[in-house]
Amino acid sequence: MQEYERKQLLERVEREGATVGADIPETIEVQGEEIDLRTFVFEIKRRETVPPGERDRVEQAKKNLRRERLERLERIEEGDIPREKGEDLARSIIGIDRALNALESLGSTDLEREQQAQQAQDRKRWMSFLKKALGRDDDQGKRRGR
**Measured distance CA(124)–CA(104) in Å, rounded:** 19
- In this predicted structure, the answer to whether residue 137 has a pLDDT above a threshold of 70 is no
| Portion of the chain with pLDDT greater than 90, in percent | 10
Please state the rounded mean pLDDT for residues 73-98: 89
CB 87 within 8 A of CB 9: yes
Q: Residue 135 — pLDDT band, cuts 50, 70, 90?
A: confident
Q: What is the pLDDT of residues 33-48, one digit of tens each?
A: 888 888 888 888 887 6
Report field, pTM of the whole predicted structure over 0.75: no
**Measured distance CA(146)–CA(138) in Å, rounded:** 9
CB 16 within 8 A of CB 128: yes
| Portion of the chain with pLDDT greater than 70, in percent | 86
Please state the rounded mean pLDDT for residues 53-76: 88
Sequence ranges of the domains in the chain:
3-107, 109-146
Q: Residue 16 — pLDDT band, cuts 50, 70, 90?
A: confident
CA 128, 130, 134, 136 torsion-angle sign: negative
